[in-house]
Chain A
Amino acid sequence: MSFFEDPIKFLAGLLQDLLVSLNLHPIAITVINNIVGALIVSSVGLVIVIFLIWLERKLAARFQDRFGPNRAGPFGILQSFGDLSKLVLKEDVVPDAADKIPYNIAPILSIAAVVLVWAVVPFSVEWIGTDLNVGVLYIAAVGSFGILSVLMAGWASNNKYALLGAFRAVAQLISYEVPLIFALLIPVLLARSMGVNQIVGAQDIWYIFVVPVAFGIFFIASLAEIGRTPFDLLEAESEIVAGYHTEYSGMKFGMFMAGEFLHSLTLAVVTAALFLGGWRGPYVEQLPLLGPLYLFLKAGFVYFLIVWIRSSLPRIRIDHMLDITWKFLTPLSVVLLMAIALTDALLKEFGQINNTALYVGAMIAVNVVIALLALFAASRLNSRQRRQIKTFEPRPLAVPPKPAAPAAASTSEEASA
Chain B
Amino acid sequence: MQDNWLFIGIAVVIAAMLPMLPIAAARILSPHRPNRLKNETYECGMETVGDTWVQFKVQYYVYALVFLIFDVEMIFLFPWAVAYDNLPLLGVIAGLVFIFLLLDGLAYAWRKGALEWS
Q: Footprint of B on A, CB under 8 Å?
A: 30-31, 34-35, 37-39, 41-43, 46, 87-97, 107-108, 110-113, 115-116, 119, 129-134, 136-138, 155, 157-161, 163, 167, 170-171, 174-175, 177-178, 181-182, 185, 188-189, 192-194, 241, 246-247, 250-252, 254-255, 259, 318-319, 322-323, 326-327, 330-331, 334-335, 337-338, 341-342, 344-346, 348-349
Contact = CB atoms under 8 A, between A and B. Distances in A.
Nearest to B34: A93
B40 A96 contact: yes
Contacts of A161: 42-43
B15 A116 contact: yes
Contact of A251 (B8, B22, B85, B100): B22
Contacts of B70: 178, 330
Given A31-B10, A38-B11, A337-B99, 12 more contacts: A95-B39, A111-B19, A115-B11, A130-B11, A136-B78, A159-B48, A167-B58, A177-B71, A246-B42, A247-B41, A251-B27, A338-B96
Given A35-B14, A39-B14, A92-B32, A252 B115 contact: no
Task: Report the contact-size class of chain B (Cβ under 8 Å from the partner).
Answer: 35 or more
Interface string B6-28: 11101110111011101101110
B15 A194 contact: no
Nearest to A107: B19
B30 interface: yes
11 contacts: A41-B11, A111-B15, A137-B78, A163-B52, A174-B63, A174-B71, A178-B67, A194-B81, A326-B106, A335-B103, A345-B87
A158 B102 contact: no
Contact of B115 (A90, A96, A251, A327): A327
A41 B117 CA distance: 42
A43 B42 contact: no
Contacts of B16: 108, 112
B44 A38 contact: no
Among all A-B residue pairs, the 8 with the closest Cβ atoms: A251-B26, A319-B117, A111-B19, A171-B60, A115-B15, A130-B7, A345-B92, A112-B15
B96 A46 contact: no
A119 B42 contact: no
B18 A115 contact: yes
A177 B64 CA distance: 11
A318 B10 CA distance: 39
Given A41-B11, A112-B19, A326 B66 contact: yes
Contacts of A174: 63-64, 67, 71
A175 B19 CA distance: 28
Given A34-B10, A42-B14, A160-B52, A318 B25 contact: no
Interface in B33-72: 33-34, 36, 38-44, 48, 52-53, 56, 58, 60, 63-64, 66-67, 70-71
Interface of B: 1, 3-4, 6-8, 10-12, 14-16, 18-20, 22-23, 25-27, 29-34, 36, 38-44, 48, 52-53, 56, 58, 60, 63-64, 66-67, 70-71, 74, 77-78, 81-82, 84-85, 87, 89, 92-93, 95-96, 99-100, 102-103, 106, 110, 115, 117
Main secondary structure on A side of the interface with B: helix
A341 B89 CA distance: 10
Contact of B60 (A39, A322, A348): A322
A13 to B, nearest CB: 17
A132 B8 contact: yes
Contacts of B20: 108
A115 to B, nearest CB: 4
A188 B117 contact: no
Contacts of A167: 56, 58, 60
Contacts of A111: 15, 18-19
Contacts of A337: 77, 99
A157 B43 CA distance: 12
A334 B18 contact: no
A322 B64 CA distance: 11
